[in-house]
A and B are shown apart, each in its own frame.
Chain A
Amino acid sequence: MPATRKRGRHAQGLLFVLPYLPFLLLFGILPMLYALYLAVTSDTGALVGIDNFTRTIRDYRFVPAFEHILIYTSVWLVSLVVLVVGLALLLHGRAGRVTSGFRFLFYIPGALAGASAVLVWLFMLDPSVSPGSSLLRLSGANLFVESIAPGRLPFVFAMIAFWTGAGGWIVVMYGALNTIPPDLEEAARIDGAGPITIALRLKLPLIRKWVAYMVILSFATGTQLFIEPQLVNEASLGLVPDTWSSNQLAYQLAFRYGDFNGAAAVSVDLIVIGLIAALIIVRRTGLFRTEE
């Protein structure tokens, strides 16, 4: 490709990302840099190196919070990948009218804003008012307290997150599947491939990068879990600790103790974990590899 054309395409690309850039800078990059600055300084502004990090890691709530987040993120990511990809593949094999109906159905819960979705679930999880109370009772929960027992929480939060977030991803995956040229599918069918073989051996490898993209972003949002445990904490009058997730711990450090530097250190821990996970996934799946 001639150099001038290449440069022209770069300029065009820049034009597309331009409207997003100021927001990315203001609400993404700058706060991150500020957090980095806070994390390596004391409340008087003096440089303290990794002091804030070692101090927060030794906090008695640090390890449990990260444990919770680890379990929650694993449960959520596995269910997201398996169910979202599975449902998208199923949808893609159906006739147009059925598909659009189901796409809409899947997407509806995602239209609720995060906090209100949690409020809906607070009712769903209370056996005395829930429409699914028989299911809750079957699972051994006769009281709200039992629905949100410590061992169940990662699964409860994963369920809430899946309910609100999966629909959007199913639509995205469906869009990805639509980019597969019909000839390919046709050729596979002529070669004797059944619908399952086509789905698993042809479609799935072709949308691999989309799945990787979903995993990276979902990993980052998963580790940043905040509003769900925070609202459940308040609604249950403290039955769920207010430092259940690492983001909540950062919040408590900042506002309960006025320790903004410690809070920044916990936030930086989360950025680092997210970046490492993203790097691994990008390298393993070749997400940004382009064929020239």
Chain B
Amino acid sequence: MRFFRRLSTPRSVSRRLGRTMLAGLTVLAMVTVAACGGGSPKAAPSQDSKELTVWVDAARLPVAQAYVKEHPNVHVNVVTFDGDGNGATTLQTKIQLWNRTGSGWPDVIFSEQVNDPVWMAQKPFEFAAPLTNLIPADVLSQWPAPSTAQCTINGTQYCVQDNLAQSVLWVNKKLMTQFGYATPTTWQQWAALGTKVATEHPGYIVGNIGDSFSHWIYLWGNQCPLQQLNGDKLLINPADAHCTRVAGLLDPLIKNGAVPPLSVFTPDFARKYGGAKDKVLMMPGPSWYAQALFDQTLHIPAGQITATAPLQWESETPVTTGQVGGGPWIIAKHSHNLKGAADFVVWATTVFNPSGKDARPGYPAYAPLADPWLKGLASSGYFAADPAPALKAAAGQIWTGWNLVSYPDQPVWSNTVVNQLVSGKSLSSRLQPFGDALAQAAQASGYTVTRQ
């Protein structure tokens, strides 16, 4: 790069060129590394190869490391990456490059994005291997039906979820008792309490709506049809009463500050509501909030937080809830060690379950593992009351009318709704533009969209 810089005076040009070079070299290096470790056709032609390349995010690194420790005779090459969360294109870029070069694919990938298997199973990616022949049916059958459904694309199962990310209502029991409030069971009671909090205890919050996944908590859970597959058609209808009535319920709360349009993972949020401030009274959110958010991010003291059942809309049944995450494990169909890859995935999802501070961050999707994990959670000493009953009940209540699609909807939500909520617009007024933008994204990905 220095060579280039000396040659051409204008820095900007040389820097662009340098950047391109650097990017090229990085990709080349990664491909080479992956190829050496994993599925280079020449290096490891047989299925009984002991080599295994696994791509994981930071939160799944302990699983991979534990596997390496437990299986000293398997040579595992662990690669960490950004996890592809929030609609990132990391995996798409890599897979396109591997496909074009015809080598370099890892054997196993963990993705934070629950919809990734949808595009991985289809053209032009065609990366994911069907699991039915790789993992025994009696093991696969232990995942809850909605979870299996999310991993099934065109009738074939391509992934297993690492964890379930069902939404529940998280409650600060200490504050509720202190303020003399009863825990709400319906969205209406929750909203009424939010209005009350805004006047009686301004600054305290009953939820938030500024995350890239907030629509999964409020709109998915309340059965708003924004990505509903009916045959080969995708229904995107933000004008549906299930959507507008939630928006109508939330708008006053966003305005009065009880549900701020802030992301829970911003420094602002932690400073305003976390730690010693301790101003989170309630918060609808996924199971992994348990410790990843309240304990490790917001540093809310032990003995305050617990989970209660997902909120019900008036007296409507059945009660449904949303989902935030539930990252899947995917095996590459190009793997030269399919057996080893399957063994890794089975071990990571059905065996790995350490206790204490090393505990898995999310509710295990593999049902037999959920009970011991919940027991561990209850005995961790962090919660004001055992969150297990609520989490367990909610696991089966994820609304199945929200289908996974090949395009990411999080960025669309962020840049058509969240940034407008911040500038004072109402959620009700942004629903239609959100639907329009989703429809454009869906059509660009080849879906036939119906709007009502």
Contact = CB atoms under 8 A, between A and B. Distances in A.
Interface of A: 19-20, 23, 27, 59-61, 110, 113-115, 126, 128-129, 143-146, 149-150, 161, 164-165, 168-169, 172, 213-214, 217-218, 220-221, 224, 227, 233-234, 236-242, 251-252, 254-258
Contacts of B414: 236-239
A128 B86 contact: no
Given A60-B440, A149-B423, A257-B445, A239 B418 contact: yes
Contacts of A236: 414
A20 B41 CA distance: 37
Contacts of B16: 221, 224
A221 B19 contact: no
B264 to A, nearest CB: 11
A237 B263 contact: yes
Contacts of B277: none
Most chain A beta carbons < 10 A, residue from B268, B412, B413 = B268
Contacts of B428: none
Contacts of B93: 255
B222 to A, nearest CB: 22
Interface stretch (B2-10, B165-173, B189-197): B2-10
A234 B82 CA distance: 10
A110 B415 contact: no
A129 B270 CA distance: 13
Given A150-B419, A214-B10, A238 B267 contact: no
B419 A242 contact: no
B348 interface: no
Contact of B10 (A60, A146, A217): A217
5 contacts: A59-B444, A217-B13, A220-B13, A238-B412, A258-B124
Contacts of A59: 444
Contacts of A252: 89
Given A218-B12, A238-B87, A252-B89, 18 more contacts: A23-B4, A27-B20, A61-B444, A115-B19, A128-B267, A129-B267, A145-B422, A161-B12, A165-B12, A165-B15, A218-B10, A221-B12, A236-B414, A254-B96, A255-B89, A256-B89, A258-B96, A258-B124
A73 to B, nearest CB: 12
Contacts of A218: 10, 12
A110 B411 CA distance: 31
B156 to A, nearest CB: 21
Given A217-B10, A238-B411, A255-B93, A143 B422 contact: yes
B19 A227 contact: yes
A164 B407 CA distance: 34
Most chain B beta carbons < 10 A, residue from A61, A126, A217 = A217
Contacts, number: 117
Consensus secondary structure, chain A interface: helix
B410 interface: yes
B201 interface: no
B88 interface: yes
A155 to B, nearest CB: 16
Contact of B267 (A23, A114, A126, A240): A126
Contacts of A172: 9-10
B179 interface: no
Given A237-B263, A239-B414, A252-B89, A221 B422 contact: no
Interface in B123-162: 123-125
Nearest to A248: B89
A145 B88 contact: no
B30 interface: no
Nearest to B4: A23
Given A256-B92, A257-B445, A149 B419 contact: yes
Contact of B212 (A60, A238, A258): A238
A180 to B, nearest CB: 18
Contacts of B12: 161, 165, 168-169, 217-218, 221
Contacts of B18: 113
B17 interface: yes
Nearest to B267: A128
Nearest to B99: A258
B262 interface: yes
Contacts of A164: 15
A114 B19 contact: yes
B271 interface: yes
Given A23-B4, A27-B20, A172-B10, A237 B440 contact: no
A190 B326 CA distance: 79
Contact of A168 (B4, B11, B262): B11
Contacts of A234: 82, 86, 88
Interface in B1-46: 4, 7-13, 15-22
Contact of A240 (B15, B20, B415, B423): B415
B58 to A, nearest CB: 15
B266 interface: yes
Contacts of A242: 87, 89, 411
B422 A238 contact: no
A244 B86 CA distance: 16
